[in-house]
Amino acid sequence: MAATLIERRERSVTIQIEIPLSRSLLETEEAIQAALNEAGVLATGAALEQFDTDGGPLQFGSNRWTSKGQEPKTYQTPYGEVVVSRHVYQTCAGGVTFCPLERDARIILTATPRFAKQVSHKYAEMSAGRVLDDLAGNHGRAVARSFVQDLADAVGSVALAKEQDWHYTTPALDVPVQTIGVGLDGTCVLLVQDGQRQTMVGTVSLYDRDGERQHTIYVAATPEYGKAQFLQRLQREIEQAQQLYPQARLTAVADGAQDNWDFLGQFTRDQVVDFYHATGYLGKAAKAACPRSFAGRQAWLDERCHRLKHEAGAAGRLLVEMAELPTDGLSEEVQSGLQEAVTYFRNHQHQMRYATRVLAKLPIGSGVTEAACKTIVKQRMCKSGSRWKEQGVGIVLSLRSLSYTAGRWDQFWGKIDRYGFPVALAA
């Protein structure tokens, strides 16, 4: 062995490692990794033993638990497998068993908390097969695919179960928060049995007085739990942000879907439809304004987009202009597109005060939310050949929402360390 336990004290261990040096630095570095893993196994084994009891009886309520003796158990760590003999308890009535070491050391299934944190974070980013490759290639760790999946499911299930009970603090920001921007949108995930299903994504973003985004909270939900539960989660995040920054201006940015505004309207009348959605409809009108000239169509569109963004009241004037465009000789497709643009502007012109918002340095686009749909959902859930079960979607989305919201991943594991993992009474 490259690592040897030299001395063990009550609060420390001393380990000696020997590393062979070669003319290849890569080979030497791999030898260093292997030696450090051996040292980690020795140190973790000693650390785990300190969480065991002395074998004396335990009292939980009216139940008295007695040790069946020390039984060996293999635990998975970041460094390798560790076998520890620990006391396992049972009541006089028999039945389930209980291991205090696993409770107090925060063991998750058979993984130490640090290894569970590593594996679940990797699984949030990549498939189980890729996690196996990463662990083997970068950490010198070989585990089973089922272990990776089961461990990620366990961690994600706790994240889902504790979403309402566990409050996460927003990182301290260097500048005052001037604006709270809220957005929500939907995207699709391919499910095994139901085909393409909608998955919801919400964002709560904090902006400074210059309109620069300083922090974003991400919320994503699988269709299994329904839109109502997702909206409840997003509502909690909005309310917490308002409590934290009561002087900040709350504004909502989304596309034209009425469901979005039915929800967002509960919190603020300071609303704007995404500028780029609006320009998309102007693009439809441009085909009617200049049906025979691509260059003329582009010039018409550029000029109207500039007016919409920088001139107060431009949306109403553009609505009148589009409504008066002649339609004689236009194809049905172009006429239909023009009518869609007129209807969109008629329904949303009160949410198109872009010039005022630009001057006030308020957000006019839902890019952060649309980017979240791609980052939180699409990049992980919609890879070639991917099909998901609803529970799996919920697990991964929960992990990714925690991971991509700055500060929350470590806070989540801090709560696991403080409150423990829901360990079943089983050896």
Do 192 and 237 reside in the same domain of the chain? yes
Cα–chain-centroid distance for residue 261? 24
Residue 10 burial (CB count, 10 A): 5
Same domain, 211 and 336: no
Is 35 found in the same domain as 71?
no
Is 379's pLDDT higher than 90?
yes
Q: Where are the alpha helices (DSSP H) in 126-270?
A: 128-139, 145-161, 226-244, 258-264
Check whether residue 233 and residue 213 sit in a common domain: yes
Same domain, 187 and 252: yes
Helix (H, G, I), strand (E, B) or coil at 394: helix
Name the more confident of 154 and 196.
Answer: 154
Q: What confidence score (pLDDT) does residue 387 get?
A: 85
Final residue in a domain of this structure, among 128, 161, 194: 161
Q: How many domains does the chain have?
A: 4
* Domain-embedded: residue 240: yes
Write the CB contacts of 8 (distance below 8 Å, at least 6 apart in sequence): 14, 46
pLDDT recorded at residue 423:
52
419 within a domain of the structure (yes/no): no
Same domain, residue pair 39 and 110: no
Q: What is the pLDDT of residue 424?
A: 44
Q: Are residues 99 and 119 in the same domain?
A: yes
Residue 37 belongs to domain spanning: 3-49
Q: Does residue 417 sit within a domain?
A: no
Rounded distance, CA 234 to CA 212, Å? 22
Task: Give me the half-sphere count of Cα atoms (radius 13 Å) on the Cβ side of residue 44.
Answer: 23
Same domain for 244 and 381, yes or no, is yes
Does some domain include residue 337?
yes
Report the chain's terminal Cα–Cα distance, integer Å: 30
Residue 228 pLDDT > 50: yes
The residue from 339, 356, 373 where one domain ends is: 356
399 has pLDDT over 60: yes
My answer on whether 40 and 97 are in the same domain is no
343-354: pLDDT as tens digits: 999 999 999 999
Predicted confidence at residue 376, as pLDDT, reads: 95
Domain final residue pick, 109, 126, 161: 161
Q: How confident is the model at residue 225 (pLDDT cuts 50, 70, 90)?
A: low
Report if residue 420 sits inside a domain. no
Q: Is residue 171 part of a domain?
A: no
Give 183's pLDDT tier (boundaries 50, 70, 90): very high
Q: What percent of the chain has pLDDT over 70?
A: 97
What is the Cα–Cα distance from 15 to 246, expressed in whole angstroms?
Answer: 53
**pLDDT band at residue 425 using 50, 70 and 90 as cut-offs:** very low
- Are 183 and 270 contained in the same domain? yes
- Taking the C-alpha atoms of residue 313 and residue 265, their distance in angstroms, rounded to an integer, is 22
Helix (H, G, I), strand (E, B) or coil at 301: helix
Choose among 107, 238, 103: nearest CA to 184.
238
Tokens 């403080």 correspond to 418
Q: Flag whether pLDDT at 315 surpasses 50.
A: yes
pLDDT digits 0-9 by tens, 254-264? 998 888 899 99
Give the predicted TM-score (pTM) of the model: 0.90
In a shared domain, residues 186 and 262: yes
